[in-house]
């Protein structure tokens, strides 16, 4: 198993955790107000999901074609990372839709 891939995965998980808790690795701040813009954060998250999907597709294709530099474990880990990223994005979307529905059903 490739140790550098595991270290990279741990680094990405730490970065995501720091971003979720408001750490220093949040996306670019808009307007100089000190708070990240919601649309910027959302776009950054969607881009990360797309990048994980693309990397997963690339690695699985390279493994299928017999590339000796890509191991089965690397390909499977990238598939799992992409699946987890997509499921997280779906859950966030579901929570946003639920919150929107709750707000729209409030009586003013």
Residue ranges of the chain with pLDDT lower than 50?
Answer: 24-30
pLDDT at position 88: 92
pLDDT at position 26: 45
Total-model pTM: 0.63
Determine what percent of the chain falls in helix, strand and coil, rounding each to the nearest 5: 70, 0, 30
Whether the CB-CB separation of 55 and 40 falls below 8 Å is answered with: no
pLDDT at position 97: 92
**Angstrom distance (rounded) from CA 38 to CA 32:** 14
Element (H, E) at 94: helix 72-104
């Amino acid at each position: 198993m490739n140790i550098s891939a595991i270290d990279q995965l741990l680094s990405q998980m730490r970065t995501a955790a720091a971003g979720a808790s408001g750490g220093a690795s949040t996306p670019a701040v808009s307007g100089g107000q000190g708070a990240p813009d919601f649309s910027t954060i959302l776009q950054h998250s969607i881009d990360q999901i797309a990048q994980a999907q693309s990397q997963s597709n690339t690695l699985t294709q390279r493994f299928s074609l017999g590339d000796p530099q890509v191991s089965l474990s690397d390909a499977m880990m990238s598939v799992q990372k992409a699946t987890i990223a997509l499921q997280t994005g779906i859950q966030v979307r579901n929570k946003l839709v639920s919150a929107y529905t709750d707000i729209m059903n409030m009586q003013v």
